[in-house]
A = this chain, B = another copy of it.
Amino acid sequence: MSEPSLSMDKPALIRALQRVLPERLIIHEDEALRPYECDGLSAYRQVPLLVVLPENSEQVQQVMQCCHQRGVPVVARGAATGLSGGALPLADGVLMSLAKLNKILDIDPLNRTARVQPGVRNLAISQAVEAQGLYYAPDPSSQIACTIGGNVAENSGGVHCLKYGLTVHNVLELKVVTASGELVVFGAAALDAPGYDLLALMIGSEGMLGIVVEVLVKLLPTPQRAQVLLAAFDDVSKAANAVGDVIAAGVIPAGLEMMDGMAIRAAEDFVHAGYPVDAEAMLLCELDGANDEVSAQLAKVRQQLLDSGATEVRTAKNEEERALFWKGRKSAFPAVGRISPDYYCMDGTVPRKRLAEVLLETSRLSEHFQLPVANVFHAGDGNLHPLILYDANKPGELKRAEDLGAAILELCVKVGGTITGEHGVGHEKIHQMCVQFSAAELTQFHAVKHAFDPLGLLNPGKAIPQPRRCSEYKSLGSETLTPPSARGV
């Protein structure tokens, strides 16, 4: 990555920060900085210039004012579980960890909201309101560890976002510190807020427009009942088409997940969930709601899955088996990790009705690049997570994995989809933004960035490529990465 700029006077910056933060909240020695060098996408690493750990929003404001005066860039991070390198530090920048802003400030059961600091873990919110019969719906796989601030930055989803939406649908209000250190509020506790929707704009903006210091989340009543169906298929395309069939039948499942044969067998070896190891694909379909409603939907979905060609449909016998079915799905990434030295998790989205052809084409791309791909994903949303298996110790394999990943993302764009469903663009997919958007659209993104951060100090270099870099990327001929078969999709 980049070297510190010559003009950066680190000792002077430390002295300035010491005037606004207690010594213990500033990390600047090399060894102590090492743990902050990457987020969940550990293929990319960069030790930051220094780390600050503010304990309240006033300190966040003061740090931002201090950095703003000196033109020092700032990368904010929560638990750093992100998978697109959105919190990758800068050699000449401050890394601001929001881990110490970890308080639940208020729970309001009547308005069904909770006011929390950004460093509160996703699952901790649901645990705190469980006794009131409530929960916070978005549930990324990392929900034990990931924080709500990071969820806001990446507009995180999860298994249940098919029915309950992404982070943007479950947050009502944000307190934000701007690039210049001012505190502003976007959104409102009430239904709608006047003026431009800066709340939605902030969500998913990957720390590039402001630093979130407080989040008002919506809570939902815990469903009376949840039940899961497991359907086995002898063919990936049949399973993919069954996804659209279920939804076209008028049911919106709480979750509708797909695993292909490789993922099924890896997960079964790992957690012994009772998965059908001979199947080529499997769907897990969760239904939730009132007792009677769930019963009626179970019958309807079971019949639809059989009509769509499932070789077997099982209902979890009890709560224990339901948990086991989900444990297999949730362990699928580490399970695949056991059968390959390394894996690279992609994240793209396609319209549901294009699922079958995209999976077929992905398998052709997998052969072309000579790297296996396992598929474990949020099928109901059309949100793919191809896991590319490679060995970083073999020369050229990481590069080939990256190229295969890029080809899959560009395939998603070609069929009318997008290059991210829930992981964000970050450092990882910045080139694919050139494929997704026109120069006019990228120019508009930059204009919005400039409206919030005219000096470009907040997480610079992530998410939104310069149109000039896109010209370079395109002149390299991204199509050379893609075999002819994929270009015609």
Identify the A interface with B (CB < 8 A).
108-112, 133, 155, 157, 161, 165-166, 168-169, 178, 182-186, 188-198, 200-201, 203-205, 208-209, 221, 244, 247-248, 250, 252, 289-293, 295-297, 349-353, 381-383, 412, 416-422, 424-425, 429, 433, 436-438, 440-441, 444-445, 447-452, 463-464
Contacts and interface: CB of A to CB of B under 8 A. Distances in A.
Nearest to A384: B190
Contacts of A182: 440
Contacts of A184: 438, 440-441, 444
Contacts of A221: 250, 252
Given A157-B192, A192-B421, 9 more contacts: A186-B441, A190-B349, A193-B436, A194-B420, A195-B437, A196-B205, A290-B296, A292-B292, A448-B451
22 contacts: A109-B248, A110-B248, A110-B352, A110-B353, A184-B438, A186-B441, A188-B416, A189-B417, A191-B422, A193-B418, A194-B418, A196-B448, A196-B449, A197-B201, A201-B201, A201-B448, A221-B250, A291-B296, A447-B450, A448-B448, A448-B451, A450-B451
A382 B201 contact: no
Contacts of A247: 110, 112
A448 to B, nearest CB: 5
A425 B349 contact: no
Contacts of A292: 290, 292-293, 295-296
Nearest to A210: B444
B194 A436 contact: yes
B451 A194 contact: no
Contact of A191 (B244, B252, B383): B383
A451 B447 contact: yes
Contact of A445 (B112, B196, B290): B196
Nearest to A134: B250
A200 B193 CA distance: 12
A44 B368 CA distance: 66
B191 A196 contact: no
Given A110-B353, A178-B440, A196 B204 contact: yes
A195 B352 contact: no
Nearest to A465: B195
Contacts of A165: 169
Contact of A169 (B169, B418, B438): B169
Contacts of A382: 190-191
Contacts of A192: 155, 157, 166, 204, 349, 383, 418, 420-422
Given A289-B293, A292-B293, A351 B440 contact: no
Given A111-B353, A155-B192, A452 B463 contact: no
Nearest to A436: B194
B293 A155 contact: no
B198 A444 contact: yes
Contacts of A289: 289, 293
A186 B420 CA distance: 14
Contacts of A351: 111, 189-190
A183 to B, nearest CB: 8
